[in-house]
Amino acid sequence: MIKFFRRIRQNLLTENKTGKYFKYAIGEIVLVVIGILIALQVNTLNENRKLKAKELKIIQHFENRLNRDLFVTRWATEINNTARSSMGHVQSYMEKDLPYKDTLKFHFGNITQVWGLNVDYAAYEELKSIGVDIISNESLKTNLLDYYSESQLAIKAADAYSKIIEDASKTIFPDHFNQRWNTTSEFQLGKVPVIEMIPNNYEQLKKDKKFRYFLKSLKNENSWLIELSLERSLEKNTNLLSEIELEIKKLKK
């Protein structure tokens, strides 16, 4: 009987030890899992910080390039408005059959100017190489892609308008002008160039149907191919810069 109770006691002690070891092993596993989870979380936070810093950098690059585009587009708009004003002035002056005056040489020079949209694609190309999904703000990403996609169409339109001027310089201008352009002032970024085109025979020019047709058509072609593109680009550009400013503030928090 005594041996029987001793055996029972020994079994209980063995079971207690096994239970303790089992609990200890479970605790170790739990600690290891917690450590792994913490490490993963820290790693994720670090990666997110790096991505956020990268996103901020490229958005700041866009801000810089878009500000440059805004300056150039405003300048091109000013030059184009001058060209359109001169188109109207020359047309009206010739229709009234008024005599030649020296200031007309500047208006003739202005109508041949081609200043369409000019966009810096550096930031856009960088974004494409990195991957557009780095920009987390879906609205900003869409608007940026729209801006550069539409600008490509506007540049093609400006090329088409430039060809109209080039064709006229080969088929119409040589009959009436000594040269297409004579720049009377030093070219300066941000300023409207002063250009002259002096007619060889103004009275003969007034009677030229090809020139009169070219002059009447040019303003409409300018409106579709240049003016509307510049106006739309200015609107998109200013809206984008406002959106970018807000996004930069958010990313810096």
In terms of pLDDT, which residue wins out, 178 or 13?
Answer: 178
* Owner of token pair 């009447």: 216
Q: pLDDT averaged over the chain?
A: 85
Please give the structure tokens belonging to residue 160: 């088409």
- 244, amino acid identity: I
Domain boundaries, the chain: 55-252
Per-residue pLDDT reduced to its tens digit, 195-231 = 889 999 999 999 999 999 999 999 999 999 999 999 9
Measure Cα distances from 191 to 71, 74, 86, 155, 182 in Å: 11, 11, 17, 21, 16
Q: Is residue 159 over pLDDT 90?
A: yes
User: The pTM is what?
Assistant: 0.79
